[in-house]
Amino acid sequence: MALEKSYSKDFESDELFDYEIIKPKKTLKIQYTYTKRYYEEAEKFAKNLTQLTQEKFMRLREPQKQVVIKNIGNMTRLHSKRAMDYIAKHGELVRDEFFSRVNYNDIAEQWNEQFEKLLENKSRVKNCALHLVFSIDENCNEKNLKALELSVYQTLTNTLGYDYPFIMKLHTHQNNPHAHVIINKTNKITNKQLRFHSKDSCKEFYHTLRETFKDYLFANSKGELQYSNTPNIHKAIKNIETELDTLETQARNNKSFRHENYFYKVLGSATSQIESLKKRENALFDHLDSLKNLLEKTHWEKEKFTPPTNEKELNQQLKEIKWLNKESLTPKNTYKKIQKLAVCKSPLIKDYLYTTKKLFATQKKIIDLEKDYKDLKVLKEEFSKDLEADLSHSKKRFELYTKLKSMSKVFTSKNIVKNLEKIALDFKSDRHSISQRAFEFFRYMNYQNLNLTDKSNMFLVAKFFKDSALLVNIARFEMKKIDDNIRNSNPQDNLLDKQVWLNLLEHLKRLEEENYCFAKKRKEFLETRAMELSKDLKFLTQANENDLPIYERGQRDKIIKRCEKSLNFLQKELQCFKTLSKSASIALENLQNNHQITAIAQDTQESTNALKKIPLKDFNKTTNEPTNPNNNYEMDF
C-alpha cells in the first residue's frame, strides 16, 4: 500500500507517463470446507447404502488413494534440534523456503540463536517449530520423487507464503517416499507465532494443506498421481463398529461388575478425606492458639486488634492489610494510621490472618464433604429398599410357584406346566441378581462396620442389626428355594449354592456378636457418662441460681444447654439399647439355628464323593482385614 501511494504521488502530475498499479493476487479459497465435505460424503454414503446392499456397495466402490500429511507435532528448541539432526543425517543439504539447497548446519545454528532470543523475550512461548511429513504410496523412482518434492514445496509456499522459514528433505527408506518438513513458527516480518484460533481453524488449515498437496501432485505428475482428499466414511463407520464390538465384548466379560462397587469406593474416599481434613483443621486450631498467646501479650491489648470471626470480616481485613502495606510511614500520616500500619505489617498478624483463611477454607471443605457423605448414605438406604422390594417380589413369585406345583399333582394341565416352566425361568434370571445384590449389601455393612468404629453409637449398631435381619430373610428364602429344587440342575450345584448362603450367615453371626459386645461396652460407658453429666448439670444449675462467680453469665448458660443436650442424646442411646438387645437376641437365635444347618450341610458334603474335589467358594474375605476400601472393592470396566 505504501508503494502504491508513493507511485501515485510521483507520477500523478506527469501526463506523459502511463502507468498501471499492479496489486498482489489473493490465493483462491477452497470452495468446500472440511466439515461441509464430510457431511456431503456421509449423506452420499447413506444414500448409496439404502439403494444397494452394503456388500455390493463395498465391492463396486474402488476408493482412490488418500493423500497423507502427518503432523508429528509442535516442538521445543531442543526437540527441533533433534528432528533437524534426524532429517539431515551427516550434514546433508536441505531445501529452504526459496527452494535453494542450503547447508543444514548453517540453518540449524541460525534457528537455534533465533529460538534462544525468542525464549528470552517471550518466556511463555514453548513451541518454536512444527514438524510435518508428506508421503505418497508409490514406488521410489526419480520421477515420483521430483513430483513429490516440487508438490510439497509449492503446497507450503502457496499456504504459508515466504514469511515462515522452513527446511525440507526427501527420505526414501523402506520403499516409501516421503518428505520431512520443519517449519519455523516465527514470522520473519512480524515476529509473531503461527497459531490457530480454534480447533476448527486448525482442522480447516490441514484440510486446505491436503487439498493443495493433492492438486499439485496431479499437476506435477501430469495426471499420473491421482490422489483423493475425500473423508473416508467407510473407515469412520468401521471404527464405530469396532468400538461397539469392543464394548459388547467387555459387557459379556464383565458380568460381575456392580455399580455399587463404585459407590463403596466413593464412600471410603469421602471418609478418609474428611478424617484428613479434620486433622488439618485441628493443626490449624493449634497454630492459631499459639499465635493468640503471642498476640495477646503485644498487639491485642495495645493496638486493639480484633481477630475475624467469619469469612466476611477476614476478607475485609486482608484487603485493608493489602492496601496499608503499599503505604509508607511519612510525617504526614496521622498517629493512628502509623500505629495501624505497624500492626498490619507485623508478621504475627499476617500469619494469624492467613492461618484463619486456611482454617475457613478447610471447614468449608469439611461441610461440603459431610453433605456429600450424607447424600451417599441416602443412596445406600434406597439400595436397601430396592433389595427389600426384590425380596417381596420374589416371595410372591415363589408362593405362586408352590401353588401351581401342588395343583399339578392333582391334575395335569398344559397351562399349569407352561406357567411352572415360565416361573422357573424367571427364577433363573433374577436369582443371580438378588444374590449378588445381597452379597454387595453385606460387603457394604462389613466395610461400614470397620471404617466407622471410631464414631459408632447405638443408632448405627441398631441399623446394622436391621440390615442383618434383611440379609437373614433373603438367605433363608434362597435356601428354601434350593431345598425345593427350583433350579433344574444336579444336587451338587444346589448344595454348593446353599453353602455360599451358609457362609454368609456364618459371617453375619460373627459380626453381630462383635456388634453386640460393642453395644454392651457402649452401654456401660453411657451410664457412667450420664451420671457424670447429671452431677455437672446439677452443680451448674445451683451455681446459676445462686449466681456464683464460676463463669461469665452468658458462657454459663451455654455450658448448661450443652450439658442438657448431651445428656438427652445419651438417654436416647440408652433407650435404643433396650430395643436393640431384644432384636439382637432374636437375630442371634435365628443365626444360631441357621448355623446348625451348616453342620448338617457339611456332613452331607462329606458323604458326597463328587463334592470332595470341588472347592467351596467364599464370597468374601474375613472381616479382620485392613479397612482400606480400595483394596476390598475392585471395579471392572
- Domain ranges for the chain, please list them: 65-229, 258-381, 429-632
Is the pLDDT at 248 greater than 80? The verdict is no
DSSP H or E run through 263 = helix 259-297
The letter for the amino acid at 599 is A
Task: Classify domain 65-229 at the CATH class level.
Answer: alpha beta
Average pLDDT on 492-510 reads 72
The proportion of the chain whose per-residue pLDDT surpasses 70, expressed as a percent, equals 48
More confident residue, 618 or 302: 302
pLDDT of residue 333: 54
- pLDDT-derived band at 630 (thresholds 50, 70, 90) equals very low
Average pLDDT on 439-467 reads 62
**Nearest Cα to 145, choosing from 169, 167, 165?**
169
- pLDDT-derived band at 59 (thresholds 50, 70, 90) equals very low
Average pLDDT on 195-210 reads 81
Please give the Cα distance from 285 to 215 (Å, whole number).
Answer: 73
More confident residue, 249 or 226: 226
pLDDT tens for each residue of 590-599? 555 554 544 4
**Nearest Cα to 308, choosing from 353, 342, 344?**
353
Average pLDDT on 616-635 reads 34
**Nearest Cα to 404, choosing from 391, 394, 422, 417?**
417
Is the pLDDT at 612 greater than 50? The verdict is no
Please give the Cα distance from 589 to 570 (Å, whole number).
Answer: 28
- Give me the phi and psi of 633, to 5 degrees please: -125, 105
pLDDT of residue 143: 86
pLDDT tens for each residue of 69-125? 888 888 777 777 777 778 777 667 888 888 888 887 788 788 877 777 777 776 666
Please give the Cα distance from 586 to 517 (Å, whole number).
Answer: 15
Instruction: Give the distance, in angstroms, between the CA of residue 248 and the centroid of all CA atoms in the same chain.
Output: 23
pLDDT of residue 202: 82
- pLDDT-derived band at 552 (thresholds 50, 70, 90) equals low
- Helix (H/G/I), strand (E/B), else coil: 72: strand
Exposure string for 80-110, b = 16+ CB within 10 A, e = fewer: bbebbeebbeeeeebbbbeeeeeebeebbee
Exposure string for 588-609, b = 16+ CB within 10 A, e = fewer: bebbeebeeebeebeeebeeee
pTM: 0.36
Cell digits of residue 252: 459379556
Cα angle 303-309-310, degrees, rounded to a multiple of 5:
130
pLDDT of residue 498: 74
